[in-house]
Amino acid sequence: MDTTLQDPLVGQVLDGRYRVDARIAVGGMATVYRAVDTRLDRVLALKVMHPALATDATFVERFIREAKSAARLDHPNVVQVFDQGAQGAYVYLAMEYIAGCTLRDVLRERGALRPRAALDILEPVLAALGAAHRAGFVHRDMKPENVLIGDDGRVKVADFGLVRAVNTVTSTTGAVLGTVAYLAPEQIEKGTAEPRVDVYACGVVLYEMLTGGKPHDGESPAQILYQHLHEDVPPPSAEVPGLPYELDGLVASATARNPEVRPHDAVALLAEAREARSRLSAEQLDAVPPGALAAGHDNAEDRTSVIPRPPAAGPSASGAGDDGVLRTSRLAAPPPPPPRRRGPGVPRGPLAVVLAVLLVLGVGTGVWYISSGQFTEVPPLLSKTEAQARERLESAGLGVGTVGHSHSDTVERGRVIDSDPGAGARIRRNGSVSFTVSDGPRTVKLPDVGGYRLDRARAALKDEGLEPGMVTEEFSEDVPAGYVVATKPGADTYVRGGAAVALVVSKGRAVEVPDVTGDSLDDAREELADAGLKVEVAPGRVTSEYEEGEVARQSPEGGGEAAEGDTVTLTVSKGPELVEVPDVVGDSVDDATRALRDAGFEVREERGLLGLFGDTVKKQSVEGGDTAPRGSTVTITIR
């Protein structure tokens, strides 16, 4: 049966613009629909928050953060976000529609993938995450469900709804947002949000692509979390014999339990992945995985969850609270509950039946009395104007309490962003409800940090409620090395609070590096010092075409640019390599030339009048058996 027929949103038009055609997927926080933008006549995806969560301003803020974060990322492997809005209880994002499937669909259908296919998927995923990491953001919920594979083969990363700025922790007190199977140890223990948590998740995803199954398994989420904390991810070859050790090493590097040992971000892991691929043969890349887990494994734990971090001490327990939130303590598997026993004072037989009837009658009477006009429910006020909110409260027989104001990045100015008590709460009739009205997004005037040291500039941005973003370097004639040249956007621009600000830092004044190869070491030092550069001499000497004591090579090379005060490393020659010269007297010209060149020499022919038509070597400039520098020229005389 097509369940989309029962979905109340299918067939509706949101905000007079987005016609909802079909339901695509349902997640823990939102439902995704295929829709049509009737203004631009294009197909797109609508991600709509579950109405039950739309009354919670915290969840709405987190949901809309996806639009803000993804909109900052202009990358071909990131799902583009076009718009965000709200209509009644529906808060939504309008996003790029990818016709295809998710990586989870592929794994469910095929099981383990060939190494080439796994790397073909992993690399664009890392490219997308690398762009986010370099922009100052972390995804925090990487898993196969968030990897989209288009019908045209394009790979895109979706669902940046859990994005956080680098080096921050979750705002959910004592909890971490994510998916159990892909959480890094530091996410579980501290709620850390930094690029290495995405690196760890990508390592788990790679393991899953290579083997068809997850590295950690258990009867409860608590057991899986415990394994993340205390057990290394096993090598994929333990599950799929014959997988190259390069892939084992790549998984081990990405999933190291100590975050300091992992690649520092997705860009670094991408470099490792490409290096691993380069060392594999075509046969290894296209090998069919033998003995891998079959397709169609269970993925019941693959939804994003709010997971409490383990407390420092306390009894071992695991379960779900009344609010449906998974709770864990010490991450140990709980013992089965003992069978319930009847207490000695509980009556049996006919007496029990009579008491039960009386209890039902008593409780029923109480419920009738309580619900006969004493209480009512708080109506939903989210996104209503102040006047509409007052009217709704008055219509419900409720009074208006305190009306506060607060900035909001997600709710337009003049609209309600929160109420106390919240929507749906039971309240006595004639009670009062307070609510908060949005003053719109908080804007910040970007401070002028030009000329600041990088650390001071970062601190100044944070003091204004902004996030330091990607750092790039460029030469500057005016700004010393290590100091800020400019920001992007520029100083005095008004931006939203919390926005990421890119910093351009000076590498110092650019100078042309002189070419000092072949110079004596003293002359080279003097010439480089005159150019404003420092000199470092590499330990040891090398054979080269240059004489002993002369500069054999330099780094950076001559003719390039460096910052004033940079260091040029010089390697000193110990002279050319001496090679024994073959004896070619009496040989034909061709044989002599071949022998000398094979020994590493250049050959020059010398013919007198008598040797114009000759083909035999009469003599050679360096006698056979003597030594000469490799690459030097040996002259042969023809007769």
Q: Locate tokens 């887990």: which residue?
A: 293
Write the DSSP assignment of 98-152 as a string of letters: --EEEHHHHHHHH-SPPHHHHHHHHHHHHHHHHHHHHTTEE----SGGGEEEETT
Show Cβ contacts of residue 562 under 8 Å, excluding neighbours closer than 6 positions. 510, 511, 513, 533, 556, 568
Show Cβ contacts of residue 378 under 8 Å, excluding neighbours closer than 6 positions. 396, 398, 419, 421, 422, 423, 424, 425, 427, 433
Distances (CA, A) of 11 to 7, 20, 27, 224: 9, 5, 20, 41
Q: Is 208 exposed, middle or buried (0-12, 13-18, 19+ CB in 10 A)?
A: buried
Q: Is 602 helix (H, G, I), strand (E, B) or coil?
A: strand
* Two tokens, residue 295: 């397709």
Q: State the Cα–Cα distance between residues 220 and 604, nearest whole angstrom.
A: 81
Q: State the Cα–Cα distance between residues 454 and 464, nearest whole angstrom.
A: 16
Task: Yes or no: say if 102 and 149 are a contact pair by the CB < 8 Å rule.
Answer: yes
Q: State the Cα–Cα distance between residues 584 and 573, nearest whole angstrom.
A: 30
Q: Is 429 helix (H, G, I), strand (E, B) or coil?
A: coil
Catalytic residue among 7, 141, 302, 492: 141
Show Cβ contacts of residue 410 under 8 Å, excluding neighbours closer than 6 positions. 60, 61, 63, 64, 84, 91, 417
Max Cα-Cα span within the chain: 139
Q: Locate tokens 């330091």: which residue?
A: 468
* Two tokens, residue 113: 């993938």
Distance from the Cα of residue 176 to its chain's centroid: 17
Q: State the Cα–Cα distance between residues 440 and 627, nearest whole angstrom.
A: 85
591 is catalytic: no
Residues labelled catalytic: 141
